[in-house]
Amino acid sequence: MSKIESLRARQILNSRGDWTIEVTVRASGGVEANASVPQGESRGSHEAVSLPADQAIKNILEIIGPVLKESECVDQAQLDARLIELDGTATKERLGGNALLGVSMAYARLMALSENLPLWQYLRNISGLELNSPTPPRLLALMVEGGLHAPGASPFQEYLVLPRGLAITQSIDIVTRIYQSLRQIVSERFGPAATRLGDEGAFAPPTTQPLEPFNLIIAAGQAVGLAETFDVGLDAAANNTPFTAEELMIYYRQMRSTYPLCYLEDPFKEDDFIHSASFLAESNKEMMIVGDDLTVTNIERMKIAQAERSVNAMIIKPNQIGTVTETLKAARQARRYGWRITVSHRGQETNDDFIADLAWGIGADGIKLGAPTRGERVSKYNRLLEIAAQNR
């Protein structure tokens, strides 16, 4: 494989029934690979700009394609630098972060195929991270959702189960058993109609009490004899809640003292580095205070968070920044700061399982995939199982 032969793009549907893009890169010799791009439902204002699907496709076919066609297949960093230069803006607003990422991810798959490597191994090889033997990321499985993902439910966005220190297969088994138990408990407590699902496949019971979802999850674990096998976590997505910082602080202290809470994501507004730093300072070192809208996989935002000591962990989402190389750069920077890393899906997903390979490839501490249901989430759970089987 020596040259890029063609670049194609088309519209596909995401999990919300909205349009997104799929990109296919073909090299001389007939090798080709594709990638599809998710969208965020709850998006930080500092993320890379995602253009409408038809405009992103037009930019791929009319601007990016002609530049890359018949060019030599260079390494990932060179390809991504070329994309960034073509766009020429800090937020990818000219060509669209979704256009750039679709090309970048498809190219990464193409290079992995050309080197006869699984994608996770290719990503590990180019990551620049010092990693030992492959270890699975810890699952952060969604059980109850609210916020923008489920209006009428809790004001907080994601209530998570984190199985403790087990292999992927065992962790997924715990997650699925708790999930099925939770279905029954929600039905008994609120009626069968209350087992409706949110955007990411979790239950969205009609309670506006921020602590109640944890009670339901704990009860579900106890009902199947798994109460001692997991911790819980919360993605507050505080940007989208009606609470003041002081009210949020009270809720988090209650959660921390009442439940086995080990993970708290975006506890305050997206530019509130100060309150996040205050809560981190009073928390134990093992608890993860995690930036997502706060850091948006962006080095410049990460620098502020580090200077203020606002977080000790962060979310990695490729579509927040726009290319594979920039995603890996953010992971390296996080490790330099001593932060833990969680790779995450988005609210409007596709069946693309790239993030499962990414999490394994960069040695992520955790991975968020949504609930263990719906095809666009299950595809990523199944990819984790496949990688685990290959590494036995």
- Which residues are tagged catalytic? 200, 317
Q: Are 103 and 341 in contact (CB under 8 A)?
A: no
- Residue 215 and residue 299: Cα distance in Å, rounded? 37
The pair of three-digit structure tokens given for residue 75, joined into one six-digit string:
């390494």
- Residue 13 and residue 348: Cα distance in Å, rounded? 9
CA dihedral 320, 321, 327, 333 (to 10 degrees): -100
Of 46, 41, 55, the C-alpha closest to 100 is 55
- Please tell me what DSSP assigns to residue 147: G
Cα 127 to Cα 48, 284, 375, 388: the distances in Å are 21, 30, 29, 20
DSSP reduced 3-state for 105: helix
303: which residues sit within 8 A by CB, 6+ positions away?
A: none
